[in-house]
Each structure stands twice: as structure tokens, then as C-alpha cells.
A and B are shown apart, each in its own frame.
Chain A
Amino acid sequence: MRRITSALFLVGLAVLVAAVYQQMNLLVTPLAGDAINASAGQQVGAGNIVTAVVLAFRGFDTLLELTILFTAATVGGLVLGKPRADAPRDPDAGFILQAGADLFFPLLLVVGLYIILHGHLTPGGGFQGGVVLAAAFFIPVLARPGTTLDHHAVSLIEGLAGAAFILIGLLAMLGGEVFLTPLLDKGELGALFSAGTLPLLYLAVGLKVGAELAGLLAQLAATEATD
């Protein structure tokens, strides 16, 4: 059974590589998305139309999405509870997992922050990068079951990031605009510091999602393992 799974995984990997290779020659076909992409840059200053929609045109939806995620994580944390004091601890992970975790932590940190900070330019953004950040902080916990995440710091980051998102939205109202209207200078299209407040909003989203999911995963891992 294990061989079949390995074979399936290898086939999937081969298809992935083939797809990426194929995609390189296929980027010339014109699609309707290009027209929308071209107009979003002038209106919001974001090179990525999805970010323009998620944060500028439909920012309030994103706030509610964050609320849903927050509620789900909170309820999950409530249901999971704490392990008994005399519960048996998990054995330490092997050398391979520990070395892999040490290697992966900085890599995932850089990839996650890159995806978040370039969310207004390239595909990806706060939600995707936040998940990568959560994985980065969870893998060391998985490799060394003795260590735990600092839950106070995690909830502090989560709360501050959520407050920052709402605060940026309220700042727009001070100027007489609608809630969550993009502020600041649009800047040059394609530059890292452009698109006004969109990168700041995505940074808040990324930190909130990352902190939430890392906390939830750490709590899930800390529950007692029945044997």
C-alpha cells in the first residue's frame, strides 16, 4: 500500500513539473483577464487584480472573512481544551525531522513574508502567506514536542493585526471617505511601495491569519494522544 502511495505521489510530482514546464510556453494566449488587469492598475495601483478586488473594491467582505476565521479558531480552541497535567508527553522526533525543521523554518519564513509583502504585485497575499507563516512556526513544535508556542505573544499579534485592519479602515472615514477606502499615494505601478494602504492591509491580514492558524495548530498538537 505504501508503494502505491509513493508511486501516486511521484506521478503527481511529475505532472506538476510538466505543468510548470508547459505553462512557460503558454503565456502568450490573450485572455479576458488581461483587460481587467490593465484597468485595475490605474484605479487602485495594484498590479494584481485579485488584491484590488479583495482589499479595495470588496474590503468589507475581507473583514468579515477574517471574522469568520477568528470565530472558527476561537471555537476550535474552546472545544480542544487543555491536556491533563499527568498526560504522557510525545516522544522527540527523529534526527531527520529535527534537521528538516531547522532548515525549513527560515525558508518558510522568507517565502511567507515574500508572498504577503508582494501581494499587491504578484499572485498570493495575506491569506496564502499567512498559512505559510503558520506552517513555519508550527514545524519546530512538531519536531520538538517539548517546546510550545508563546500563546500570549500569538494572541497579542493576532489582536493587534486585526485592530490595525479596522483602524486603517476607520482612518479613511476620518477623511470623509467610505470605510476601508484605499488611502495614501498609489505610487508607481509595480514598485514594492505602491498601491497606497493595500500592502499594509495585507500585512495585517497575513499576520492575523498566521498567528491564528499557528495558535490553533499548536493547541491541536498539545491535545492528549490516546494510545
Chain B
Amino acid sequence: MEWLVLMIVIVMLLSAVAVLLMKNFIAALAALSVVSLGMSVLFVILRAPDVAMTEAAIGAGLSSLMFALALRRLGLWKD
């Protein structure tokens, strides 16, 4: 089990750093939702499925959607 948690944490950290370094806003947004996805898997492993569902629905889904709409509003939604 430890290797799995370790892998998830490493993926989360890498994508969190990638969010900061990426020049492309769409790519940064995708990396940001990977952080939330890893977080929700961690919650499942910690046996908190309710929190995992909330994290997946709001963290990975809804907030990325909001960020995407905000980027479009600011004219940054391009390759």
C-alpha cells in the first residue's frame, strides 16, 4: 500500500510544480485537476469515500470548469 501512496504523492507534487512552470494555461489547468484527482484517490485509500467524491466532483470537475471559464473571459484560452 505504501508504494501506491508514495506514487500518488509524487504524481501530485510533480503536477503541482508543473502548474507553476507551464506557460500554457490550458495545460496548467489539466495539471491542476490531476492534483485534485490524486487527492481524491488518497481520500479513498484513507477510507473517506464521501470526501473523495466531493474532491473529485468539486476539485477536479467544477473548479476546473470555473477556471476554464475565467481563462476564456480573460482571453487566455488559447494554445
Contacts and interface: CB of A to CB of B under 8 A. Distances in A.
A76 to B, nearest CB: 10
B50 A123 contact: yes
B52 to A, nearest CB: 8
Interface residues of A, number: 40
A203 B61 CA distance: 21
B25 to A, nearest CB: 11
A134 B14 contact: no
A50 interface: yes
Nearest to B36: A12
Contacts of B30: 5, 8-9
Interface stretch (A94-102, A172-180, A182-190, A217-225): A217-225
Contacts of B4: 15, 18-19, 22
Contact of B75 (A9, A19, A22, A226): A226
A131 B53 CA distance: 10
Contacts of B50: 48, 50, 123-125, 128
Interface string B3-21: 0100110010011001000
A23 interface: yes
A33 interface: yes
Contact of A19 (B41, B49, B58, B66): B41
A8 B62 contact: no
Nearest to B40: A16
A115 interface: yes
Nearest to B76: A226
A88 to B, nearest CB: 12
B73 A213 contact: no
Given A4-B27, A15-B8, A19-B45, 19 more contacts: A8-B18, A11-B11, A12-B11, A12-B15, A12-B34, A15-B7, A15-B41, A19-B8, A23-B44, A50-B50, A123-B50, A123-B53, A124-B49, A124-B50, A124-B53, A127-B54, A128-B53, A131-B57, A225-B75
Interface of B: 1, 4, 7-8, 11, 14-15, 18, 22-24, 27, 30-31, 34, 37-38, 41, 44-45, 47, 49-50, 52-54, 57-58, 61-62, 65-66, 69-70, 72-75
Interface of A: 1-2, 4-5, 8-9, 11-12, 15-16, 18-20, 22-23, 26, 31, 33, 48, 50, 115, 123-125, 127-128, 131-132, 134-135, 138, 213, 217, 220-221, 223-227
Task: Give me the 6 closest cross-chain CB pairs, A-B, nearest first.
Answer: A123-B49, A131-B57, A5-B27, A128-B53, A226-B75, A50-B50
